[in-house]
Structures are given as C-alpha cells and as structure tokens.
Chain A
Amino acid sequence: MAAPLTLLLIVAVTIRAALYRSSLADLISERVEVVSPLTAWKRVVEGLALLDLGVSPYSGDVFHETPLIIYLFHFLVDYAEITFMLADVITAVALYLTVKEYNKQVFRKQKYALEADRYPLDCLELIRSPKEMFYIPLKVAMFYLLNPFTILSCVAKSTCGLNNAVLSLFILATVKGNVLLSAIFLSLATYQSIYPLTLCASALLYLMQRQYIPVNFRRASFWWFIVQYAFMYLGSLFVIVCLSFFLLGSWDFLPSVYGFILSVPDLTPNIGLFWYFFAEMFEHFRLFFLCVFQINVFFYTIPLSIKLKEHPVFLIFMQLAVISIFKSYPTVGDIALYMAFLPMWSHLHRFLRNIFLVCCVLLTCSALFPVLWHLWIYAGSANSNFYYAITLLFNVAQILLVSDYFYAFLRREHHLCYGLYLKRKDGYEATLVLK
C-alpha cells in the first residue's frame, strides 16, 4: 500500500504548492473561518518580528502561540510553506499507520469473538472482513489530505496543521501501544491548546485494554497504570512548560496562551459558538457563562468514556469532534481532523439516519460563510446575526453528524449482541431508539 499512499502524498503536495503560488494564498490566510487569533500565520510573523526588536512577543494582544512554535519558526520562517506541507504529510501518514494497526486489532477481536461464538446467527452480515477493510487506511489518508478544509488550512499557514500533526502522532502512539510516546505527544498537544486533555481518558482506556489490565475501579493495577500514565503526562507537560520558560526567560506566555484560550477576550467572529454570545453579554455574567461554555467541552468526557469503554478509538473520534465543535476558537482545520476518521466507520452506513441532511447542511453552510461575511462586512446589508445563524447551523450539523455516528455505532454493537432482526414481544419488527 505504499505506492498508492506515495501517489496520494504527491498529489496533495502538488495541490498545496499550486495554491501557494497562486494569488489565493493571501485571500485565504485572512478568512476568519480558516484562521483564528490563536493560529493565524501573520501573528506568528508579528511575534517573531517583535522578538527581533527586543520586545517580548506576548506584549500586546498579538501572539498567542506557545514558545516552542517561536523556536520552531525562528529557524523555519523562510521555509514555512514546506513546514506546513510536511505537517500535513506527517498527519496523513500517521493516520494511515493508525488505521492499519487498528484494523488489525479489530479483526483480531472479531476473530476471538467468532471463535467464542458470541455473535447471534443473523448478524453475520455485520461482521467485517479484511477485504472490505483493506482500503480504509488509504481512504482515511485521502480524506485528510484532499479535504478542502485541510487544504485551506494548510494554504493559510494556520498552526492548526501543526496541532493536527501532534494529535495524529499521539493517536498513532496510543494505538501502537507505546505508553511513553503517547503521554509525551498528548502533553505536547495539551501544551499547545488545552482541550486535548480530554483525550487522556480514551488513551488510558485503550492502553489498559491493550495491556490486558482490567478496567475496574477496585483493582490496584488499574490505579497503578493511571498513576504511571499521569506521571509521564504531567511530568512531560511540566518539562515542556519549564523549557518554554527558559526559551524566553519569562512566564508571560502563560496568560497569553492559556489565559487567552480560557478567558476568550478576543471576539473576532469564527465558526465557533463563543464570539456572538460574549459580544452581547453583560459584564456581570461573563465569568459565569465563560465557565459554562468551557465546562461544556470537558463535560462529555466521563459519560462518553463510561458508555464507550469497550471502544476507545471511537471514543477518541467522539472526543476530537466534541473538542472541534465546542472549543473557544475553532477553525476548519480542527474539523478536518475528525472528518478524516469517517472512513473508519463506513461499515455503519446502513444505520446512519441523517447523513443526507448533514451533508447538505455542511456544504451549504461552507458555501454561505464567505457570502454572509461579505454581506455583513463589505456590503453592509446584513449583520452579525446572519453570520452567527450560519455558524449555529454549521455546528448543529456537526453535532448531528457526530451523534448520528454514535447512534449507528451503538446500534451495531447492540445488534451484535442481540441479533440483527429484532422482534418485539408480539412479533412485529422493533425499532431501536437512542435514549
């Protein structure tokens, strides 16, 4: 499978290089849907310029990326385009390897379950075969690389691409079972934006199941593993934060990066839910609603991990989706990452109910974003309500997509336990409802 992957990589790199050379690059790098105050490239350049002038890059509300990004781009600022293309390539290759490894796991578990005769007889058509799963890794890589969102994010040189690379390396390390690397990449991802903290639970679940540690609160080995992982994770986070302190010699990156993400002072419109609310909110209630919105991101971790404790990779997908929708400054680059996972669950297509609606809404909203922005800002005939309506609709469509896949996944699991053609007590066909 190396040859098709290489071909795919070459095609993707060509598209991005072509777009870099065209005049669209400047246009795209200013779109608010693609870059946010956290990830914009011109802010990185501005931060580096401030540093050359002898001023801390965090002075003034310009630069909100971490010091390691400063270090990275201090040497690579002339080769920025190659860096971002390389980040996309790394992400795609990591996702490819992840899915290959995961397929092996899935197939192995299925084989054991079949041998143990745990599936009812009529759901044999739900069993996955290696033949149908053969092209999934390539499809995942293709979904990531050729997704217009990813291409836009790469051409805009948004640092979201780097974040995606670190996250996909984390997922690769987790799925391969390497505890240390998984902890280190997760701490890098958390260091850059706080929200990947929620992926801790899914990584823990997966690694424990891979090492055959029972996921049971009363077992000592469970807690010991958690302690080990937490130590590695927190230790590496601490080391990275201290290193960042030594880079610039001051702690003022902490309020500029983490304070900025958590307290959302910049209300530039984006595709998220925060800006409109906080623009119209009274100061008195601001802290309260800030807490509500931020807790909303972290809140789904525990219930989802309890429900999906048998299926940690699906849990990772759900968590990534929840982060991309509810984070304080989302961009289309975040969406591209979790959408890359969709071919992994293509066997669920017979249980998906809303997929046509979701596709239509997502496409329409993506097309309407620039239109309503132009009408609001340039033509002056619309206002922020129009743009926020499209934002809301876009997020509702994403939530619908994610919950649809959740329903389909759980329904498949249910059928695998209880049989495909379920009958109610009076013999009629039953319908399954997600409560």
Chain B
Amino acid sequence: MKILTLFSLFVTYSSGNSINIEENAGQFFSSGHTNNWAVLVCTSRFWFNYRHVANTLSVYRSVKRLGIPDSHIVLMLADDMACNHRNPKPATVFSHKNMELNVYGDDVEVDYRGYEVTVENFLRVLTGRLPPSTPRSKRLLSDDRSNILIYLTGHGGNGFLKFQDSEEISNVELADAFEQMWQKRRYNELLFIIDTCQGASMYERFYSPNLMALASSQVGEDSLSHQPDLAIGVHLMDRYTFYLLEFLEDIHPASKSNMNDLFKVCPKSQCVSTPGHRTDLFLRDPGSVLITDFFGSVRKIEITMETINLTDPIQQVELSPVNEELQIEKYSYADQLPVSEIIHQKPKQRDWHPPDGFILGLWTLILLVFFKTYGMKHLKHIF
C-alpha cells in the first residue's frame, strides 16, 4: 500500500517533473551563451583618482563573487592605489567610508597595470589582435557564444574617454572595435557600462548588434563622486558605481533579477546625474535578460533522469545553414583578401606613353633652336 502510494507519488512527481524539464529545456538555451567574460578598465592614474580604481575593483569583486573566474576576467588598472605611498592603509582599497569594505582583498589579479593600460592595448584586447607572445591572462579569448561585460571608468567628455592623462579613445573607435568583434564572432551579447562624465556619448555611436549599454550620466552632465573618507583623504567611489555595487551585493548566482532592475539603479535623486541606457541594438527584450547573464558565470545545471527530446528551437539553429529561407537576418563575414588574385599577380607594365604630338612638337622645337643657334650652314654638313 505504502509502496503503491510512493510509486504513484513518484510517477506523478516524475511526470510533473518531466513536463517541467520539457519546458525548462526550452528555456535552457534561451540566452544563447555558454561562457562569460569581463573586461574591467580603470583609465586614470594619480592618487586623487582613487575612486576610479575602487569603482573597477568593486565591479571585479561582484563579478568574481558571482562566478566568473580570473581566467575570464581582464582587469586593467592604470595605477596602483593599494601600494601607493600616499595610502595610509597599504594593500587596501576601500569602497565604503570608515573602511567598511575592502575591495582589494587577497586574490586580486590585475592583468594590465600601470602604463600598460593604453588605448592601443585596450583595443587590442577587445579585437584580439595581440602579439603572439602575449600570455593568456592578458587575452580576451572569447568566442561567439560568450557574453562579455565591459566596464570603463575614468575621466571622460563628450565623445571621448581619457586614458592615463595623455591619450583618448573616441566613441567612434569604440564602436568600430565592437564591430570588429562582431565580425570576428567574438561575442554573443555584450553589456557595456561606463561611469564617466558625459558617459552616454560613448555609446551613441554603436552600430553592431547585440550590444546593451549603460552610462552614469547623459551628455552635458558630470558624474559625481560619492563620499570622501577623511582618513584616506580622497573620494572613495563614484555615485553610480557605489549604488551599482549595492545593487549587485544583493544578487546571488540564482537570482532572477533582470536588466530592467539594473536600469533603475541610481536614479537622479541619488546620482544627481541621469543614468542612461541603450537597448535598441539588443535582440532580446531587456526584461528577459538576467543580471547573471553578464555579471556572473552561471552554468545552468538541471539533474534529471528523463530523456529529453531536444526539439525545434535547437534544431532550427543547427539546420539554418541548410534551410536558408528560414533565417530572417543573415550575417556574413566581411570580405576576405582576394588571395587568389594576389598570388597570380602579373608583372607591372609601363602603360603610359607620352602622346606622339608632344614628342613631335618637343623635338621639332629643340631642333629649331639648335639650328638657329648654330646656323643653317651646319645642315649641309649633316646631310
């Protein structure tokens, strides 16, 4: 009797579960990504830009806490605040005053440090065009199933971001870099967050698909810093990232918060500037995009005893090269070099010849002058 009830319970449970599994299987691959990367860049040096390093390290901390390993994070810090000789608490970088939270920790791995943080290196990391001797920790080895989080902070202006007080990256360059990444299939979806003055100008020029961007202020507004710590003597964080950190502290790997919640972080009352976002290039609805799709490396694991028929959503993607009419938007690679033409190059020929009239006229004149100078009597010696 008990065995019967248990058995029936088990059957109903498993059948219930199997229905769930079938549904979940559809959701399983809904986001389309299989790995996560993060590129976190602080572009300012000098002690008074402590807050930019703290910004980047706080995002690093959140991203690492939510599961992205150091091998998948490219952390670029333009200056060393933890071991700066003006730091009264060496080997620490605090994000909250009264030293509540040390974002530096024991296991921070900085990949690009100090003067290595340049526009060229940043663009090379993004596009993957690094010299062969670059170690793996300094490369963004993403593929077309990677979701990448890119976080930039520093001093910026309308259309540019300043690197190291000596050079700038413009919004056009950034947009072109992302287009290169798209054409080389280096990302599946990309979330771009920027915390600088007039940060919205940096995402104005994006034109590649699957990009979502957030900025801490609109064009014409400055992003303000949050709070100084009187013991350390500098401002510790910027407002936008401070509230972003507070928001992310509530996220855990299984949370279902989506991007719409992220857009609400730091309203004008808290941030003084108006954060902006851009989702028109993003193919999915932002409400269906989980925070952990970008900030964490959440591997979906469902343990089941059932066999699942992986039906249409998956097969359609696999069959798309065959059934071309099913695909609505077809992306293609950029034109490659016409190698065949280069290999069989013909030798260069001199194609241009001076016109005959010119040669005739010129030499007639020269002969005329010659004979005028030396007299016609010489003619009889020649002929």
Residues of A within 8 A of B (CB): 51-54, 71, 74, 178, 180-181, 184, 239, 243, 246-247, 249
Decide if B352 touches A246 in the complex (CB within 8 Å). Answer: no
Decide if B373 touches A180 in the complex (CB within 8 Å). Answer: yes
Decide if B358 touches A247 in the complex (CB within 8 Å). Answer: yes
3 nearest CB pairs, A to B: A51-B352, A246-B358, A247-B358
Decide if A180 touches B372 in the complex (CB within 8 Å). Answer: yes
- A247–B355 Cα distance when bound, in Å, is 6
| Interface membership of B321, Cβ < 8 A | no
In the complex, what residues of B have CB within 8 A of residue A74's CB? 350, 352-354
Decide if A246 touches B355 in the complex (CB within 8 Å). Answer: yes
Q: Which residues of chain B from 307 to 352 have any CB-CB distance to chain A below 8 Å in the complex?
A: 348-352
In the complex, what residues of A have CB within 8 A of residue B358's CB? 71, 243, 246-247
| Interface membership of B132, Cβ < 8 A | no
CB distance from A265 to the nearest CB of B (A): 26
Q: A180-B372, A184-B369 are in contact. Are A243 and B361 (CB under 8 A)?
A: yes
Decide if B361 touches A246 in the complex (CB within 8 Å). Answer: yes
* Contact for B348 among A52, A178, A243, CB less than 8 A: A52
Decide if A239 touches B365 in the complex (CB within 8 Å). Answer: yes
Q: Which residues of chain B from 348 to 380 have any CB-CB distance to chain A below 8 Å in the complex?
A: 348-355, 357-358, 361-362, 365, 369, 372-373
CB distance from A181 to the nearest CB of B (A): 6
Q: Taking CB as reference atom, which chain A residue is nearest B366?
A: A184
CB distance from B382 to the nearest CB of A (A): 19
In the complex, what residues of B have CB within 8 A of residue A246's CB? 355, 357-358, 361
Q: A243-B361, A247-B358 are in contact. Are A52 and B350 (CB under 8 A)?
A: yes
- A30–B333 Cα distance when bound, in Å, is 41
- A66–B370 Cα distance when bound, in Å, is 23
In the complex, what residues of B have CB within 8 A of residue A51's CB? 352
Decide if B354 touches A243 in the complex (CB within 8 Å). Answer: no
Q: Taking CB as reference atom, which chain A residue is nearest B373?
A: A181
Q: Taking CB as reference atom, which chain B residue is nearest A54?
A: B351
In the complex, what residues of B have CB within 8 A of residue A239's CB? 365
In the complex, what residues of B have CB within 8 A of residue A249's CB? 355
In the complex, what residues of B have CB within 8 A of residue A247's CB? 354-355, 358
Residues of B within 8 A of A (CB): 348-355, 357-358, 361-362, 365, 369, 372-373
In the complex, what residues of B have CB within 8 A of residue A53's CB? 351
Decide if A180 touches B369 in the complex (CB within 8 Å). Answer: yes
CB distance from A63 to the nearest CB of B (A): 13
- A430–B271 Cα distance when bound, in Å, is 89
- A249–B357 Cα distance when bound, in Å, is 11
Instruction: Show 20 A/B contacts (Cβ-Cβ < 8 Å), sorted by A.
Output: A52-B349, A52-B350, A52-B351, A52-B352, A54-B351, A54-B352, A71-B354, A74-B352, A74-B353, A74-B354, A178-B373, A180-B372, A184-B369, A239-B365, A243-B361, A246-B358, A247-B354, A247-B355, A247-B358, A249-B355
In the complex, what residues of A have CB within 8 A of residue B361's CB? 243, 246
Among B354, B357, B361, B365, find the residue whose CB has the most chain A CB atoms closer than 10 A: B354
Q: A178-B373, A180-B369 are in contact. Are A243 and B362 (CB under 8 A)?
A: yes
In the complex, what residues of A have CB within 8 A of residue B349's CB? 52
Q: Taking CB as reference atom, which chain B residue is nearest A173?
A: B373
In the complex, what residues of A have CB within 8 A of residue B373's CB? 178, 180-181
Among A53, A71, A239, A247, find the residue whose CB has the most chain B CB atoms closer than 10 A: A247
In the complex, what residues of A have CB within 8 A of residue B362's CB? 71, 243
CB distance from B150 to the nearest CB of A (A): 34
In the complex, what residues of B have CB within 8 A of residue A54's CB? 351-352
- A243–B355 Cα distance when bound, in Å, is 11
In the complex, what residues of B have CB within 8 A of residue A184's CB? 369
CB distance from A18 to the nearest CB of B (A): 30
Q: Taking CB as reference atom, which chain B residue is nearest A74?
A: B354
Q: Taking CB as reference atom, which chain B residue is nearest A77?
A: B350
Q: Taking CB as reference atom, which chain A residue is nearest B361?
A: A243
CB distance from A170 to the nearest CB of B (A): 13
In the complex, what residues of B have CB within 8 A of residue A71's CB? 354, 358, 362
In the complex, what residues of A have CB within 8 A of residue B365's CB? 239, 243
Q: Taking CB as reference atom, which chain A residue is nearest B369?
A: A184
In the complex, what residues of B have CB within 8 A of residue A178's CB? 373
In the complex, what residues of A have CB within 8 A of residue B348's CB? 52
4 more A-B residue pairs beyond the given contacts A71-B354, A246-B358, with a C-beta to C-beta distance below 8 A: A74-B352, A74-B353, A74-B354, A247-B355
In the complex, what residues of A have CB within 8 A of residue B355's CB? 246-247, 249
In the complex, what residues of A have CB within 8 A of residue B351's CB? 52-54
CB distance from B269 to the nearest CB of A (A): 48
In the complex, what residues of B have CB within 8 A of residue A52's CB? 348-352
Decide if A181 touches B352 in the complex (CB within 8 Å). Answer: no
Q: Taking CB as reference atom, which chain A residue is nearest B351?
A: A52
CB distance from B266 to the nearest CB of A (A): 44
CB distance from B298 to the nearest CB of A (A): 50
- A358–B357 Cα distance when bound, in Å, is 52
Q: Taking CB as reference atom, which chain B residue is nearest A50?
A: B352
In the complex, what residues of B have CB within 8 A of residue A243's CB? 358, 361-362, 365
Q: Taking CB as reference atom, which chain A residue is nearest B352?
A: A51
- A362–B272 Cα distance when bound, in Å, is 66
CB distance from A49 to the nearest CB of B (A): 8
In the complex, what residues of A have CB within 8 A of residue B350's CB? 52, 74
Among B358, B361, B365, find the residue whose CB has the most chain A CB atoms closer than 10 A: B358
- A328–B162 Cα distance when bound, in Å, is 40
- A247–B357 Cα distance when bound, in Å, is 8
- A180–B366 Cα distance when bound, in Å, is 12
CB distance from A229 to the nearest CB of B (A): 15
- A228–B357 Cα distance when bound, in Å, is 29
- A52–B348 Cα distance when bound, in Å, is 9
- A52–B357 Cα distance when bound, in Å, is 19
CB distance from B113 to the nearest CB of A (A): 24
- A71–B363 Cα distance when bound, in Å, is 12
Q: Taking CB as reference atom, which chain B residue is nearest A246?
A: B358
- A74–B369 Cα distance when bound, in Å, is 24
- A111–B361 Cα distance when bound, in Å, is 47
- A178–B354 Cα distance when bound, in Å, is 31
CB distance from B248 to the nearest CB of A (A): 45
In the complex, what residues of A have CB within 8 A of residue B353's CB? 74
CB distance from A162 to the nearest CB of B (A): 16
CB distance from A331 to the nearest CB of B (A): 28
CB distance from B1 to the nearest CB of A (A): 93
- A52–B349 Cα distance when bound, in Å, is 8
CB distance from A324 to the nearest CB of B (A): 28
- A247–B352 Cα distance when bound, in Å, is 11
In the complex, what residues of B have CB within 8 A of residue A180's CB? 369, 372-373
- A71–B359 Cα distance when bound, in Å, is 9
Q: Taking CB as reference atom, which chain B residue is nearest A249?
A: B355
Q: Taking CB as reference atom, which chain A residue is nearest B350?
A: A52
CB distance from A166 to the nearest CB of B (A): 14
- A52–B358 Cα distance when bound, in Å, is 18
- A74–B358 Cα distance when bound, in Å, is 14
